[in-house]
């Protein structure tokens, strides 16, 4: 664990839950320590309703399913120290946390401090609100923000990353916002987390996007799509993850987080997707 005196904490609250999900995991054993191999990770936004009411139980269940890495999207009512203790207890690593874009822009140090105490490697911008992305100049401003926060992260042994949706690939004034974010951020400071579902939803080719700068895509959201264009559990949809992840363009990816934004049963979804992703990464 990095040595750091946490002077301020800015914990992100969970997004409003779609409904409380029951959970029964009293006898689940902790996951073993991660290996140097590529291992299945899990984005905790998938189980956000459970995280809002029972952080320890939720993490215990995800470890019991067999995930070795988790990416946070809020810490519930737990402090950074408590989160770190839970991760250590369960043998989990957390390379990244999704952070509020406006908080990172206006007051990044508390979030960086939190990331250091928990042991994250990345602070990741999760989403840009519609009012924050109306023009190409807005995106140029976000590129500047990423560079600025990236410099602060580098000074503290961290990295900043940007997570995409589909709107970054929709042309604005003859320019593609994702091009601005990629081209106007410093590769020495800023990485990207490519969400495969949203790239496909935008009508883009995932391998072609990765090919633009393979070394800058450090993380991926492994999220499948059914024939109707909706989210699906990994391995049950139409995205050929094996072909994509076997391509040289994906060689820079180091962390792979399963995610499903609207699962009918979040823990069942997590359990279905883990072995599917594990078989691809082996």
Number of domains in the chain: 1
Tell me if 170 is assigned to some domain. yes
Tell me if 228 is assigned to some domain. yes
pLDDT computed for residue 36 by the predictor: 57
Tell me if 29 is assigned to some domain. no
pLDDT computed for residue 282 by the predictor: 86
pLDDT computed for residue 105 by the predictor: 98
Residue 266 has phi, psi (to 5 degrees) of: -55, -40
Range of the domain at 98: 40-281
Q: What is the mean pLDDT of each run of 10 residues along the chain (282 residues)?
A: 30 31 35 62 98 98 98 97 98 98 97 98 98 98 98 98 98 97 98 98 98 97 98 98 97 97 97 97 90
Q: Which residues contact 17 (CB under 8 A, 6 or more apart)?
A: 48, 49, 52
pLDDT computed for residue 228 by the predictor: 97
Q: Where residue 66 sits, what CATH number does that domain have?
A: 3.20.20.150
What is the reported pTM?
A: 0.87
pLDDT computed for residue 132 by the predictor: 98
pLDDT computed for residue 31 by the predictor: 38
N-terminal to C-terminal alpha carbon distance within the chain: 29
pLDDT computed for residue 37 by the predictor: 80
Q: What is the DSSP string of 94-156?
A: EEEEEE-HHHHHH-HHHHHHHHHHHT-SEEEE----GGG-SSHHHHHHHHHHHHHHHHHHHHT
Distance (Å, whole) CA 114 – CA 124: 13
Phi and psi based region of residue 66 (left: phi greater than 0; alpha: psi -120 to 50; beta: remaining): left
Tell me if 111 is assigned to some domain. yes
Exposure string of 166-200, with b = 16+ CB inside 10 Å and e = fewer, is bbbbeebeeebbbebbbeebeeebbbbbbbbbbbb
pLDDT computed for residue 219 by the predictor: 98
Distance (Å, whole) CA 191 – CA 210: 12
pLDDT computed for residue 27 by the predictor: 35
- The secondary element (H helix, E strand) that includes residue 217 is strand 217-222
Tell me if 27 is assigned to some domain. no
pLDDT computed for residue 1 by the predictor: 32
Tell me if 3 is assigned to some domain. no
Tell me if 22 is assigned to some domain. no
Tell me if 10 is assigned to some domain. no
Q: Three-state DSSP class for 265?
A: coil
């Amino acid at each position: 664990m990095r040595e750091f005196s946490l002077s301020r904490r800015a914990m992100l609250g969970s997004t409003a839950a779609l409904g409380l999900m029951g959970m029964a995991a009293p006898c689940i054993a902790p996951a073993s320590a991660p290996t140097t191999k590529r291992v299945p990770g899990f984005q905790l936004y998938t189980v956000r309703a459970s995280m809002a009411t029972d952080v320890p139980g939720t993490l215990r269940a995800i470890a019991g399913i067999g995930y070795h890495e988790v990416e946070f999207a809020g810490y519930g009512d737990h402090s950074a120290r408590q989160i770190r203790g839970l991760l250590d207890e369960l043998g989990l690593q957390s390379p990244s946390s999704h952070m509020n874009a406006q908080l990172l822009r206006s007051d990044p140090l508390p979030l960086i401090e939190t990331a250091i105490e928990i042991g994250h490697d990345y602070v990741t911008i999760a989403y840009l609100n519609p009012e924050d992305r109306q023009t190409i100049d807005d995106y140029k401003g976000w590129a500047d923000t990423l560079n600025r926060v990236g410099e602060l992260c580098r000074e503290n042994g961290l990295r900043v990353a940007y997570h995409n949706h589909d709107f970054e690939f929709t042309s604005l004034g003859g320019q593609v916002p994702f091009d601005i974010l990629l081209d106007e951020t410093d590769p020495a400071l800023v990485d990207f987390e490519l969400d495969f579902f949203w790239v496909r939803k935008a009508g883009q080719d995932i391998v072609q996007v990765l090919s633009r700068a393979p070394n800058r895509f450090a993380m991926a959201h492994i999220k499948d799509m059914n024939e109707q264009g909706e989210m699906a559990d990994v391995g049950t949809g139409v995205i050929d993850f094996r072909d994509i992840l076997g391509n040289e363009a994906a060689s820079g990816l180091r962390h792979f987080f399963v995610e499903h934004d609207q699962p009918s049963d979040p823990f069942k979804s997590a359990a279905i997707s883990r072995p599917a992703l594990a078989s691809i990464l082996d």
